[in-house]
Amino acid sequence: MTHQVHIIGGGLAGSEAAWQLARRGIRVRLSEMRGSGQGETAAHHTDGLAELVCSNSFRSDDDEKNAVGLLHHEMRRLDSLVMRAGEAARVPAGSAMAVDRDHFSAEVQRALEEHPNVEIVRELVEVLPAEGMTIVATGPLTAAALADSIIEATGEDRLAFFDAIAPIVHRDSIDMDKAWFQSRWNKGDGKDYINCPMTREQYAAFHQGLLDAEKGEFREWEANTPYFEGCMPIEVMAERGFDTLRFGPMKPVGLDNPRDTTPEFPQGRWPHAVVQLRQDNKLGTLWNMVGFQTKMKWGAQVELFRTIPGLENAEFARLGGMHRNTFINSPILLDRQLRLKSAPHIRFAGQVTGCEGYVESSAVGLLAGMMAAAELAGDAWTPPPATSAMGALLSHITGDAEASDYQPMNVNFGLFPPLHDVKKKARKEAYTERAKADFGDWLGAARIAVPA
């Protein structure tokens, strides 16, 4: 099959871009280095397309007052493959959208393998193509040779930050005589998380254990690389203060311990701190420790995490880990259609552009695919409105961010044009109401075709 667009990278963004192009009748060559025998990474465990290497959560699915939930809504309206596969692989997670990671990857790969306009090639691409429409969606783990080629083409050194992976626990090794099922404030089904409570004394000992635990060594090339604030290692959070974790991943608010009742608190009192685990696969056999990404050595992790009430005999399907992510300075290097200014036949998409998060990466891949399709058809491209989640994210990447201090960013209402005349308590609902209306108008006015 002679391709019209070459996509480099079969992660979330590359897979989504391929789907959007193929559904519009455009022939795609999708190059994925994993499975080629020369493109394995420290973070991936399979060669499946769109493998989730960190959390299994796409975060909040609330599209009424949450920016990422609004992004879900917009992507669904554009027939996102990631959203399709996410629904098929969904597991309980309260008001969040979490998936069975293996099922999710298999759904994405099946859809692309079955599409006649997609050719999946297992190959390591080491140099940016000199010609032909290309989308680079290699993600935060871009191969070294290709990263060097990008640097040569852009004249800008790459930026980097650390990303971390949380441990996964076998469900049958959790002591449910100490832990209990409950979602915070009983949201969703009310019982979508396993909660392990701590007293103040237990929390103090755990906090000290995090400070004292043996940490993994940084390689020379990792020195002075900043952490991303949205995925901070738990031991680094602990270093920021005794109570930092109690206002973060170990927040006890809204969780009633049924083993600690009194006449005054018949439903149970809030513990001093809590460790939450979220279902990681459809079978419910694997649960990940929410917010427990870490750089601690594996032996130290097992020793310390087994001091958590309910996890004394925990068996770990995966321990925490850490890897370096890379991204380009998009506000300087890319135009408003994600094209490299110095080589406009090349687009960038996904986390390599400096967006952060599974859904954000997928959304930028979706937009890159639509932009490429419009260009091939000779149609003018009208971007989604800046008041929408996709438009706000795109604006951040392609020019609204401060280029001199550009950092990875999740979608959030801070990227949206402000609504100063709306009271703060009603502002989130107002943002989503405006976004949905403007996004709907864009779909109609710009004649954005969503393939049947």
| Residues of each annotated binding site for FAD | 9-14
Written as six digits, the tokens of 445 are 């006015």
Nearest 5°: the CA angle 358, 362, 368 is: 150
Q: How far is CA 18 from CA 116, 119, 397, 447, in A?
A: 12, 10, 21, 21
Annotated binding site: which residue ranges?
9-14
Cα radius of gyration (the chain)? 22
* Rounded Cα–Cα distance for residues 134 and 372 (Å): 9
Q: Which residues 6+ apart lie within 8 Å of 394 measured at CB?
A: 336, 338, 364, 367, 383, 384
Name the strands in the sheet holding 168-170, side by side, starting at the edge strand that comes first in the sequence.
180-181, 193-198, 273-279, 286-289, 168-170, 316-318
From the list 320, 291, 319, 306, the residue with the least C-alpha distance to 202 is 306
DSSP letter at 232 equals -
From the list 101, 254, 255, the residue with the least C-alpha distance to 181 is 255
Mapped onto helix, strand or coil, the DSSP state of residue 98 is: strand
Residue keyed to tokens 């502002």: 427
Q: Which helix (H) or strand (E) holds 149?
A: helix 144-154
* Rounded Cα–Cα distance for residues 451 and 23 (Å): 6
Residue 88 burial (C-beta neighbours within 10 Å; 0-12, 13-18, 19+): middle
* Rounded Cα–Cα distance for residues 399 and 416 (Å): 14
From the list 446, 351, 372, the residue with the least C-alpha distance to 22 is 372
